[in-house]
Amino acid sequence: MNLPAFLKFKSHQVKHHHQPISHQQSAEILDKALARQNKILETLTLKSAQVLDEGMKDSMVQIRLHIQKRFDEYFLKIQQELDQYREERLAQLDENALKLMRIVVKKALPDVVLSEDHTQIVLEALDKAKKEGFNL
């Protein structure tokens, strides 16, 4: 693990005291240790914030991409449903228009036989002829 330079001790910096230290000396040592600890905490906090910020940026990009993908899928599904509805509705309108035209033609021209009616009339006539004994 790579430690920051201020965390590394050099052998010549470590002093071995065999004599008792004064209250003032221990206060100075404690102050230096607290200053060093504060610097370590500050460095760790800054590093953590940088890592967190980079992680959040990556997460936000991933979230944005996921939302865009879901929106695209939803939009495509809606578009397909609209296309299907449009086709079904147009087919229904065509069928209704054709029915209306047949009704109008029958009323306007009662003696005209439509092709569908003509087919039905021919089939009925053939059936009647068959029943009466006329074989083709």
Burial annotation 102-116 (CB, 10 A radius, 16+ → b, else e): eeeeeeeeeeeeeee
Specify which of 8-12, 13-17, 72-76, 130-134 reaches the highest per-range mean pLDDT.
Answer: 72-76
Domain boundaries, the chain: 23-131
Task: Write out pLDDT tens, residues 33-67.
Answer: 888 888 888 888 888 888 888 888 888 888 889 99
| Banded pLDDT at 107 (limits 50, 70, 90) | confident
| Banded pLDDT at 89 (limits 50, 70, 90) | very high
